[in-house]
Amino acid sequence: MQVRCYRCGATMSIKQDEIAFVLQALEEEGGKHYDVRCNRCRHTNRVSLERLRQEASRIRKKEEPKTEE
């Protein structure tokens, strides 16, 4: 998953296992977003829980193609 820094435009990538881990942690804590620190300018970018969920479901579909049919 690619996250673009709001301040400098640098692109950070979040790994699939990190997304799964973060989603679980946010749900346990009742958090609404994940803070991603930019490698270039150190600005903290907020990634919404909703976006993480969408990404996780997209990954799941990719990994398990057509198992429901």
Residues that bind Zn ion (CB under 5 A): 5, 7-8, 10, 38, 40-41, 43
Of the pair 9, 31, the CB lying nearest Zn ion is at 9
Q: DSSP states of 16-32 as a string? A: HHHHHHHHHHHHHHT--
Residues pairing with 45 in the sheet? 36
Please state the closest distance from residue 40 (CB atom) to Zn ion, in A.
Answer: 5
Looking at beta carbons only, is 38 or 47 nearer to Zn ion? 38
Angle subtended by helix axes 49-63 and 16-29, to nearest 10? 140
Kindly tell me which of 25 and 41 has the beta carbon lying closer to Zn ion. Answer: 41
